Amino acid sequence: MKELLQQLTAAYGPSGRENEVAELILKLLEGKIDTARRDALDNLICERKGTDPKGKRIMFSAHMDQIGMVVTHIEKEGYLRISNVGGLSVSNLRARRVRFSNGVQGVMTEQPLKPGETSSLHTCYIDVGASDATEAEKLVKVGDMAVFAEPGFTVNQHRLAAPAMDDRSACALLVSLMRDLPPCPHTVVAVFSTQEEVGCRGSATAAYSVEPDEGIALDVTLCGDQPEDRKLAINLGDGPAIKIMDARSISNPALVDALFSAAKRAKVACQREVLPYGGTDASSIQLSRGGVPVCTVSIPCRNVHSPCEIVDLRDMEGAKKLLLSYLLG
């Protein structure tokens, strides 16, 4: 799992530019799935047929895209002005290493504020080492996207920090699940979705074409275990979380119960998640066609949407055990 996580978090893939991640996942799943296809929104849809004709059609969704920055214009001094691709907070943008798909690297910086001015994306820019606009334009174009480029690293024994743990940790979980899934009564459709960070767009078209009986999103969730933090009942390392609700979906109660029972059978400690904000691919899957029962299985994560998102490998292994137990009933 650790190696998968390292490989997947190192791939470049802001929203709408997920190809590198999709190609890596396809390679990792070679021989482990019956069919794989890409759709018009670039989702990667992998299917494994169930052994029981009366089995369910279960869709999992883990998003491949990560948050990023898009170049909006280039200043005459050679600095790149940016806008956000997904949720970016300025407090995570000062003096950060970033990279573009063509390998160009830069430093995200905030300019000195004038009196009364407040920090925003408009007070930030990327320095790619150019001395003027002409030189900068040889490196980067308006519309190019950058992502955080801090390399991943281990934090103590069981924890890893990297950009894009949201949601490559869930991609790693889903890859690992498909690789180790024995013959199963249900047909499992593993969707590696696109454009989640800009409004769960990929999973909407994927769910429409997959037509699942139920949908389970796999994503990170926030922890409430930091000092002075908001009071969320989620702790890093206490196991995967089963979502009861967030701002954009209410999980199907029978599916929530079935997941908790599966966790109990597998002796996996699970946390009960209520997140007063945010949303996952479950929000768009549930509204597909005539409606789909959904739930989200979450990986607790610290510093979500920063260059150093931290997950605990034990939570991920727990999530995998839980899902195997659910599928094999």
The distance of closest approach from Cβ of residue 248 to Zn ion in the complex, given in angstroms and rounded to an integer, is 12
User: Applying CB under 5 A, does 273 fall inside the site for Zn ion?
Assistant: no
Q: Which partner from the list Co ion, Zn ion, none does 18 bind, CB cut-off 5 to 8 Å by kind?
A: none
Looking at residue 65, what DSSP letter applies? -
Chain CA centroid to CA 89, Å: 17
Per the listing, tokens 């759709």 go with: 39
How are strands ordered across the β-sheet holding 153-155? 153-155, 159-162, 309-312
Q: Tokens 């996207």 belong to which residue?
A: 145
For position 312 contacting Zn ion by CB under 5 A, the verdict is no
In 3-state terms, what secondary structure has residue 294?
Answer: strand
Q: Nearest-CA neighbor of 286 among 225, 194, 207?
A: 207
For Zn ion, give the closer residue by CB, 130 or 299: 299
Q: From CA 191, how far away is CA 127, in angstroms rounded?
A: 36
Q: Is 246 in the site for Zn ion (CB under 5 A)?
A: no
The first and second tokens of residue 61, run together, are 């969704």
| Look-up of token digits 């894009």 | 164
Q: Which stretch in 105-113, 167-175, 187-195, 311-319 sits in contact with Zn ion by CB under 5 A?
A: 167-175
Asked whether position 144 contacts Co ion by CB under 5 A, the answer is: no
Window 82 to 141, contacts with Zn ion (CB under 5 A):
none
When asked if residue 238 is in the footprint of Co ion (CB under 5 A), the reply is no
Three-state DSSP class for residue 226: coil
- Looking at residues 289 to 318 of the shown chain, list those that interact with Co ion (rule: CB under 5 A): none
- DSSP character at residue 255: H
CB 152 within 8 A of CB 161: yes
Whole-angstrom Cα distance, residue 24 to residue 1?
15
Task: Out of 166, 246, 281, 315, name the contact with Zn ion by CB under 5 A.
Answer: 166
Number of residues that bind Zn ion (CB under 5 A): 3
Q: Which is nearer to Zn ion, 197 or 238 (CB)?
A: 197
Q: Report the distance separating Cα 180 and Cα 52, nearest Å.
A: 19
Is 42 a binding residue for Co ion by CB under 5 A? The answer is no
CB 212 within 8 A of CB 33: no
Question: Which range binds Zn ion by CB under 5 A, 162-170, 206-214, 267-275, 291-299?
Answer: 162-170
Q: Which residue is nearest to Zn ion (CB)?
A: 167
Residues marked as catalytic: 196
Angle at 193 between CA 90 and CA 81, to 5 degrees: 30
144 part of the interface to Zn ion, by CB under 5 A: no
* Shortest Cβ 280–Co ion spacing (Å): 9
CA distance 59 to 191: 7
Task: Pick the closer one to Co ion by CB: 47 or 315.
Answer: 315
Query: Whose Cβ is closer to Zn ion: residue 238's or residue 246's?
Result: 246
- Choose the contact partner of 219 out of Co ion, Zn ion, none; CB within 5 to 8 A by kind: Zn ion
Q: How far apart are CA 240 and CA 263, in angstroms?
A: 10
Identity of the residue, 130 or 275, whose beta carbon is nearer to Co ion in the bound complex? 275
Separation between Cα atoms, residue 49 and residue 268, nearest integer Å: 27
Q: Is 214 in the site for Co ion (CB under 5 A)?
A: no
- Is residue 281 a contact residue for Zn ion (CB under 5 A)? no
Residue 219 interacts with Zn ion (CB under 5 A): yes or no = yes
CA–CA gap between residue 75 and residue 81 (Å, rounded): 7
Q: Which of residues 147-166 bind Co ion (CB under 5 A)?
A: 166
Residue with smaller CB distance to Co ion, 36 or 90? 90
Residue 65 binding target from Zn ion, Co ion, none, CB below 5 to 8 Å by type: none
Give the interface with Zn ion as residue ranges (CB under 5 A).
166-167, 219
Contact residues for Co ion, defined by CB under 5 A: 166
